[in-house]
Amino acid sequence: MPGCTGQLAYQIIPAMTTQRFYRGWALRALALIAGFSAFSLSDQHAPLVTPAVAGSTEVLPDPAPPDAQPAPVAPGPGMVAAAAGDDTPEERVDVARVDLSALPPFRTPVPASASATGSRDGAGRAYASPPGPAVEAARAFSRPQPLPQPLYQGLQSEQVRALQIRLRHAKALAAYDADGIFGPVTHAAVLRFQRRNELPATGIVHQETWDALLAQSHDPTPAEMSNTDVGPWFVNPRQQVWMMELQDRLRQVGAYAGAMHGELDAATRLAIARYRQQLGLPDSEVMDERTWARLLRVTHNPSYADLFDALPEHAGAQELDPRCLSGKVVCISKEQQKLSFVVDGDIRFTRQARFSLPQYDSPEGDFRVWYKNRDTISRKFGERIPMPYAIFYEGDVAVHFSDDFAENGYDGGSHGCSQLDDYRAAKWLYEQVAVGDRVVVY
């Protein structure tokens, strides 16, 4: 199930006003006063890259394990600028070229296909499925086995580490590293799993909870137990524009010398593998979240104009709500399943959109954009769900690209967000919209 919403920082503060617009802006002012780190989202829904002082070339470490104590973050110039509504702070981080001199030299890049004539190739290019690594056979769920002892808050053991990995498999713990400490985060994950499976919600793992968990999880691998397993791609490599961004970032660190064509070819695979090797990560050709987070901190994101000369493809006409006829507005129709970017009644761009699952709600109304982040991770629903190019307009509800929408269409849905199925369209829209612009959902 795709996740998109999370609990934002402002929701733990008593309501400062009943008006949505002023509530968002009041918290932004509070963030400046209190020195919040780049107006970051809460642990359940946060930017992938933490703020850094402008000019820093520090590589982002892996996020803390589930129950580790987070290190305090001192506010810096980049944080204040982000809180004031600028783009994500990693845009202002100087590029650091990674030393790859100790690695084998580049192999000759594989020639691009005839359609890949360069990075600026206009609108509407089709992209083929990447050759990709061989698809692994589905892992079997675990067989019943006795639990050596009940597991509860305060314990620290390898059994707890295995519990955390199994909770991750069961989509109850949104962490990719396990620390073996049964702390508050693991306790909350156990409660979530118990309630979901209509078990006594004690937060303690007895045999009954263990049996249910085994049926929804796999035997942890040595790589999972040692936190060296390779996770999934941060964004599906079939998304050509994300792959173009990836190639551009790998070029900035000296790991890639080919064209920005957006294809997962041999040269791109080699560049990923070499960059991972330089970081000391397990051998792989997958750009997973661990690797992507580190790459973000030492590179800048290419703009839409760096990659394309033309607008994204349109997706038919949309009948506008009267509230969309003045000013700059992201106009979203749930009935028509469309999203348009409108300036003084002139539709500049329209795409198909997807909304909430039946048990959730995509709120309607006239809102203001209060926060933007390109690489947000949703953790509220027990999974780590990327939300590229997120434009938040009503608390924790945002417009963003959805891999699930791109892959499965309208068979799924969000937890309240308005989703786009095209990464290129989401990138373009993100660059047009500023904090304070209106979003009308009807």
Taking the domains of the chain in order of start, what are their residue ranges? 9-92, 158-217, 322-441
In 215-286, which ranges are continuous DSSP H helix?
A: 222-225, 240-252, 266-279
β 328-333/338-343 pair status: antiparallel
More confident call, 368 vs 72: 368
In angstroms, rounded to a whole number, what is the distance separating the alpha carbons of residues 158 and 271?
A: 35
Place of tokens 């001192």: 74
97 secondary structure, DSSP code: -
CB 44 within 8 A of CB 380: yes
Cα–Cα nearest to 352, from 385, 316, 388: 316
More confident call, 23 vs 194: 194
Token output for 168: 């991750």
Radius of gyration of the chain (CA): 22
**Amino acid 16: pLDDT:** 31
Does the predicted model carry a pTM greater than 0.95? no
The pLDDT confidence band at residue 4, using thresholds 50, 70 and 90, is: low
Q: What is the DSSP string of 378-391?
A: E-TTSS-EEEEEEE
pLDDT for residue 70 is more than 80: no
Assign a CATH topology to domain 322-441: L,D-transpeptidase catalytic domain-like (2.40.440)
User: Which CATH architecture best describes the domain 158-217?
Assistant: Orthogonal Bundle (1.10)
**Amino acid 139: pLDDT:** 86
Average confidence (pLDDT) over 5-22: 34
The pLDDT confidence band at residue 18, using thresholds 50, 70 and 90, is: very low
2-16, 92-106, 158-172, 376-390 — which one is most confidently predicted on average?
158-172
- Number of Cβ within a 10 Å radius of residue 11: 12
pLDDT for residue 183 is more than 80: yes
**Amino acid 137: pLDDT:** 64
**Amino acid 48: pLDDT:** 57
- Number of Cβ within a 10 Å radius of residue 104: 9
